[in-house]
A and B are shown apart, each in its own frame.
Chain A
Amino acid sequence: MAWGLALERLAMLYTGADDIRDLHGTLADLEFLRNAEVIY
């Protein structure tokens, strides 16, 4: 059994990322992180 709030999924919706690994984990692309627009 696994459960969680899955905040990353909400963050995907919020940032428009279409792969969770863009945001989370060692496959993250620095270019994406650098160019993602600041949300405030």
Chain B
Amino acid sequence: MIPATFEYIRAGSLAQALALLGSHEDAKVIAGGHSLLPVMKFRMAQPGTLIDIARVPELHGIDRHQGDLRIGAATTYRALLQSRLVSEGFPLLHECVEDIGDVQVRNRGTLGGSLAHCDPNSDLPAVMLVLGAKMVCVSAKGTRTVPAAQFFTSAFSSALQDGELLQEIHLPPLPAGAGTCYHTVAQAASGYAMAGAAVVVTKAGGKVTSAKVALTSSGDIGRVVDTSAFVGSDGGDAALAALGAAASALTDATGDLHAPADYRRHLMGVVTRRAAATALSRAK
């Protein structure tokens, strides 16, 4: 569990971080280190240089910006949990982050680090998808904004290009009266979801008026459930069951040590149904 030799540089500013990225070809960016360091200790990753962006001031902070909530990429889970802007405006994000890792992980792990890692079993991508998050990516050439739906390209692969950093995450306000829920059944060892669903719904006059559903641990990152049949329904048992079935159908028929394929697909249906039911009960 000793990594191969590497050079470590702590960036003091965004400009310095970008300059370092440009001048070190075999560099990896590190913030909380909770995804990168374990693979380095197993020597499955052997970067020549680590550029530490955890203390870059421009990558921190949670504030309102042009109607959105703006979150710096190096914001820790702990900072998210302590933010009333998050807990009051985006209870879904709070609910999700509360359950990530343990206290030590939440103290160091960062929102941007998790999103840029693009682990299909990570909780946050599904939450970003249903919240309609926008990712602000920065490079020496300037910034560009990538919607979450285009940011998570495939397992462990994001839309970030060489020399580019994730700088900010922008969350547009939830629809008025929206109910949200993030629900998982986790495997006991790692705490990672065997299946998870993030849901944002609105309702009016006994009907579902909008619904966004995205999945965790479905086999690939960024899977969003088609809710066209659910929207307009009464959100009752039959509609929820159909939504769950759609989530199951979207889940890969591959299993692992903890969740064989048939169980995972079944479970995805259950957690989706339950998350949607809870979200509906929370909608006003």
Binding between chains A and B: no
Which B positions have Cβ atoms within 8 angstroms of A?
A: none
Which A positions have Cβ atoms within 8 angstroms of B?
A: none
